[in-house]
């Protein structure tokens, strides 16, 4: 019955298919273009990087795609994730609004990222891939892919941005514990890395350089594929287990969200929560609002252009139509490292462009204020990325209070912040600095 605090489903109530928003988009997506020739790319152009199972999903127009049994089995070790009513936060805010959050911090990586990592490792395994290379900034994606590769007996090679490798050892240790081999990037293992080091032996690295190294390894080795933790259509697809579960859980709570909120880096956790609700809105004729929250230091959806751009700094990744700040944009070094990406998922970008989804940008000090209030009242220390969604939910709740309105708010809590205590320390000591987009300067990678 309603008015519970936690809505925990039985694993038998998990969705058995992913929801693909593609056929429900207001217009078709523009085709990806080859990074060098700018010709439209076909599936065969992507084959050196990804298994055909994932490429098929990238271009699929099927509304539902069955989750393979082996992926479902591993999902069941940590899913369904809990949906929680934030009653203590509601009380602290003295708001008439009801606040619910869907918590993805219960996975092996402490975030939503394993939802796609397991799926990607699975499709690689069935097509005989023995090795996967990838890049990671602070290590959130790397740790998700490491555990997934371990499960499916695939070698996992992670190029980790050097400054994080040196300054933030804990995620590196987690990746190694899960069986991955982690190399600081730039490295002497690739031509891309060697070129950078020849120029600057003390390079701190960047996500762009690390992507170039990981892609090069995949292109040069027949038995190796590349893996990406956000942005791509199939990544957003895999994350829709989040929203589908939330719909079932909110059903138990007899609650319909007026607004669905999530943080956006490349757009995958937000898409995973919002897309199933977008479908529901269309089907049921609801008036659900959607709110994507990004950092002011990297305001892709609120200040970027909607156009073709490369997915990476080195122009090795395909060109896609998306909101972008430019492939060579380097955001300031805010603590929400997972939100420092110049572009956004094409499907999400299109829905923002068409006015179906709203976006807002926040400064990190206000974000940490919300994070601490949430931690103190709900007993979960949020990832700085996820705290963007929290702060936006708090603003909604206070707005409802001011207007004396009832309002049902659902937000995605994409992960915990147990590896981000340095950021909390900086906040508590009053050392956090806010960056505006215009002031976005060249600072070292998270
Ligand atoms: C990686 C990450 C993000 C940002 O990635 P999206 O693809 O936008 O979801 C957000 N929150 C957490 C906890 C992350 O690890």
**Which among 88, 72, 53, 62 is positioned nearest to 12, based on CA atoms?**
72
Distance 195 CA to ligand 1 centre (A): 30
According to the model, what pLDDT value does residue 443 have?
Answer: 38
Do 90 and 397 contact (CB within 8 A), yes or no? yes
**For the residues of 272-303, what is the DSSP string, one character each?**
HHHHHHHHHHHHHT---EEEEEEETTS-HHHH
**Atom number of ligand 1 nearest to Cα 109:** 15
Pocket residue to mutate for ligand 1, from 175, 336, 338, 387, most atoms within 8 A of Cβ:
338
**Atom number of ligand 1 nearest to Cα 110:** 13
Exposed/middle/buried for 294, CB within 10 Å: 0-12, 13-18, 19+? buried
Pocket residue to mutate for ligand 1, from 81, 110, 112, most atoms within 8 A of Cβ:
112
According to the model, what pLDDT value does residue 446 have?
Answer: 37
The CATH code that applies to domain 43-67+113-233 is 3.40.50.1100
Render each residue's pLDDT in the chain as its tens digit; 446 residues: 567 999 988 999 999 999 999 999 999 999 999 999 999 998 888 999 999 999 999 999 999 999 999 999 999 999 999 999 999 999 999 999 999 999 999 999 999 999 999 999 999 999 999 999 999 988 999 999 999 999 999 999 999 999 889 888 999 999 999 999 999 999 999 999 999 999 999 988 888 889 889 999 999 999 999 999 999 999 999 999 999 999 999 999 999 999 999 999 999 999 999 999 999 999 999 999 999 999 999 999 999 999 999 988 778 888 999 999 998 887 888 888 888 888 999 999 999 999 999 999 999 999 999 999 999 999 999 999 999 999 999 999 999 999 999 999 999 999 999 999 999 999 999 999 999 887 444 333 33
According to the model, what pLDDT value does residue 341 have?
Answer: 85
Distance 222 CA to ligand 1 centre (A): 30
Distance 383 CA to ligand 1 centre (A): 9
Exposed/middle/buried for 401, CB within 10 Å: 0-12, 13-18, 19+? middle
Name the pTM for this structure: 0.96
Q: Using a 6 Å CB cutoff, which residues line ligand 1?
A: 111, 113, 140, 230, 263-269, 338-339, 383, 385-386, 414-415
The pairing of strands 408-413 and 98-103 is: parallel
**Atom number of ligand 1 nearest to Cα 144:** 15
Distance 126 CA to ligand 1 centre (A): 27
Give Cα 9 distance to the centre of its chain: 23
> In angstroms, rounded to a whole number, what is the distance separating the alpha carbons of residues 290 and 344?
16
- Asked if 6-12+78-110+236-442 and 43-67+113-233 have one fold, the answer is yes
Distance 385 CA to ligand 1 centre (A): 6
**Atom number of ligand 1 nearest to Cα 386:** 11
According to the model, what pLDDT value does residue 314 have?
Answer: 78
Give Cα 261 distance to the centre of its chain: 14
Give Cα 48 distance to the centre of its chain: 24
**Atom number of ligand 1 nearest to Cα 239:** 9
**Which among 76, 383, 82 is positioned nearest to 391, based on CA atoms?**
383
> In angstroms, rounded to a whole number, what is the distance separating the alpha carbons of residues 385 and 403?
29
For ligand 1, atom 13, which residue shows the shortest CA distance? 415
Could you tell me the residue ranges of all domains in the chain? 6-12+78-110+236-442, 43-67+113-233
**Which among 209, 215, 158 is positioned nearest to 186, based on CA atoms?**
209
Distance 387 CA to ligand 1 centre (A): 11
Distance 140 CA to ligand 1 centre (A): 8
Q: State which fold the 6-12+78-110+236-442 domain adopts.
A: Rossmann fold (3.40.50)
> 3-state DSSP helix/strand/coil percent for the chain, to nearest 5?
40, 20, 40
């Amino acid at each position: 019955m309603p008015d519970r605090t936690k809505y925990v489903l039985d694993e038998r109530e998990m969705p058995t298919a992913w929801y693909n928003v593609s056929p429900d988009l207001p217009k078709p997506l523009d085709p990806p273009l080859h990074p060098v020739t700018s010709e439209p790319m076909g599936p065969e152009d992507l084959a050196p990087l990804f298994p055909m199972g994932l490429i098929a999903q990238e271009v699929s127009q099927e509304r539902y795609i069955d989750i393979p049994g082996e992926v479902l089995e591993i999902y069941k070790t940590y899913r369904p994730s809990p949906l929680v009513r934030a009653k203590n936060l509601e009380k602290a805010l003295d708001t008439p609004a009801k606040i619910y959050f869907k918590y993805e911090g219960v996975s092996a990586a402490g975030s939503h990222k394993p939802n796609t990592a397991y799926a990607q490792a699975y499709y690689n395994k069935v097509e005989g891939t023995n090795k996967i290379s990838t890049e990671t900034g602070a290590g959130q994606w790397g740790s998700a892919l490491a555990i997934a590769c371990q499960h499916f007996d695939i070698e996992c090679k992670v190029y980790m941005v050097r400054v994080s490798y040196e300054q933030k050892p804990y995620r590196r240790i987690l990746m190694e514990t899960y069986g991955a081999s982690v190399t600081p990037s730039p490295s002497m293992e690739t031509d891309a890395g060697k070129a950078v080091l020849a120029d600057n032996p003390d390079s701190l690295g960047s996500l762009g350089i690390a992507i170039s190294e990981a892609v090069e390894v995949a292109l040069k080795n027949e038995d190796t594929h590349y893996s990406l933790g956000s942005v791509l259509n199939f990544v957003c697809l895999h994350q829709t287990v989040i929203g589908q579960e939330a719909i079932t859980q909110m059903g138990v709570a007899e609650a319909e969200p007026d607004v669905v909120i999530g943080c956006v880096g490349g757009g995958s956790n937000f898409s995973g929560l919002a897309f199933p609700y977008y479908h529901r809105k269309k089907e049921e004729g609801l008036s659900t609002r959607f709110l994507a929250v990004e950092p002011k230091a990297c305001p892709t959806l609120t200040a970027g252009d909607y156009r073709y751009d490369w997915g990476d700094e080195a122009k090795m990744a395909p060109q896609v139509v998306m909101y972008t700040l430019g492939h060579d944009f380097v955001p300031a070094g805010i603590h929400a490292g997972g939100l420092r990406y110049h572009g956004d998922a094409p499907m999400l970008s299109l829905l923002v462009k068409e006015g179906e989804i709203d976006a807002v940008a926040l400064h990190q000090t206000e974000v940490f204020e919300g994070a601490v209030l949430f931690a103190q009242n709900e007993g979960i220390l949020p990832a700085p990325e996820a705290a963007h969604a929290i702060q936006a939910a708090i603003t909604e709740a206070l707005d409802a209070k001011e207007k004396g309105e009832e309002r049902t708010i659902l937000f995605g809590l994409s992960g915990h912040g147990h590896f981000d205590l340095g950021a909390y320390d900086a906040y508590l000591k009053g050392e956090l600095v806010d960056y505006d987009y215009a002031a976005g300067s060249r600072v070292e990678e998270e």
